[in-house]
Amino acid sequence: MKPSITFLSIAAGSLTAWAGAQAVTNDAASPHGPGWQHCSALSGDNAARLSCFDQWAARQASTTAPALPTAPTPAAPPATPPVVITMVAPTAHDCKNPQFSELSRFWELEAGSNCGTFGIRGYKPISLSVIGSNSVNTQPDSVLPDHRATSSQAFNTTETRIQLSVRTKIAEGLLTQNQPLKRDSLWFGYTNQSNWQIFSGDLSRPFRTTDHEPELIYIYPTDLALPGNWRLRYTGLSFNHQSNGQPLPLSRSWNRTILMAGLENGAQFRLLGKLWYRLPEGDDVDDNPEISDLVGRSEFTGLWNPDLKNTFGLTLRHSLRSDANGSVKLEWLRKLNSTDGSGKPGGLQLHTQLFSGYGDSLIDYNRRRTVLSVGLSLVDW
């Protein structure tokens, strides 16, 4: 009986050791177990001890190994802002912004009504009209003997008049510098006026006369309060040349230095004044020596806007002499509705004008005429 008891005792001891090793091994493999201490306690079974340590090492590598450093992700480049083309001046700098007065927009007197340099703007009305007059100059002449047409032409008293007039600002801030509000400016303007004998088919419908008027204009902004709610808005100086570009005997021209000023009273009333001095010319080159006494030395214009569509104007020229030559001009301009369907006034205007006096054109500087014209105009589009 003793050998059997001995064998059973050894087997029971081995089974007990194997069970303990398995328990320690499983405990070591658990992610929450105490770890290598249990493996070290398995001194009686080298195979179980080694297996326990292998499992513990594998667990440590998978759960506690530090992450390898990685290169930082480069920041994405900032997105390029889209290019926006508006084709209109911004609100803060807009010579069409109705929050500014008529004169401020026309001459760009303030920072908010400024549209910059070298833009093309209207000046005097761009117009196409039919005119009828009480007489026509069929044989132009002057006080000089070599300035009389050699023959008479059977011109019609009814003709068509075409006027083109533009200007551009070539400099600004000359004296006002960087003042936050005021903007002085230097402009170049050009006006072309032609009388076309379109109804004279037997004469091959010639242009009876064409006047050219380039000028250089400096405008200085002011804001001087005057009685009756009037405000002096600008003063200016102009160098003006006007000629018809013809050789003798039809050549007519003069050069002037013009002082200018503009006043306004609210949105309805404007007063524009000009006083000029004719630059002297030698007797051998003066085509019209008495032009200042006939056409005048000053001009005064009053404009009234009773509403957004209608403008009424009165222009007086005076020679500033006792014989009181000059002219008077009455005008009515009515804006036509725009074509976008909004019903708002557009840039095109019905233009009616009545003129009487000297200087309807340069060739008529010494001929008193009364002229009625009806047509269409664009005024500072």
Tens digit of pLDDT for each residue in 297-328?
Answer: 999 999 999 998 999 999 999 999 988 899 99
User: For residues 53-63, b (16+ Cβ closer than 10 Å) or e, as one string?
Assistant: bebbeebeeee
pLDDT at 356 over 90: yes
Q: Which of 77-81, 362-366, 373-377 shows the lowest mean pLDDT across its residues?
A: 77-81
Partners of 212 in beta bridges = 192, 243
**pLDDT score at 292:** 96
Whether the pLDDT of residue 79 is over 90: the answer is no
Residue 146's pLDDT is 87
Q: For a pLDDT cut of 70, what percent of the chain falls above it?
A: 76
Q: What percent of the chain has a predicted confidence (pLDDT) above 90?
A: 62
Lowest mean pLDDT among 62-76, 131-145, 189-203: 62-76
Among candidate residues 194, 211, 193, 202, the one with its CA nearest the CA of residue 155: 202
CA 278 to chain CA centroid, nearest Å: 35
Residue-range domains of the chain with CATH:
2-61 (no CATH), 102-378 (2.40.230.10)
Per residue in 7-48, pLDDT (tens digit) is: 444 444 544 444 444 544 444 444 444 466 667 666 667 777
> What pLDDT does 78 receive?
56
Query: The whole model's pTM is what?
Result: 0.74
**What whole-number distance in Å separates Cα of residue 101 and Cα of residue 169?**
19
Residue 140 — φ and ψ, nearest 5°?
-60, 145
Q: Which residue is it, tokens 């080159």?
A: 285
Give the end-to-end CA distance of the chain in Å, rounded to a whole number: 131
> What is the per-residue pLDDT across 254-291, written as a single tens digit (0 to 9) for each?
999 999 999 999 999 999 999 999 999 988 889 999 99
Least confident of 73-87, 185-199, 304-318, 340-354: 73-87
CA separation for the pair 324, 296 (Å, rounded): 9
Query: Does the pLDDT of residue 83 top 90, yes or no?
Result: no
What is the pLDDT confidence band of residue 50, given thresholds at 50, 70 and 90? confident
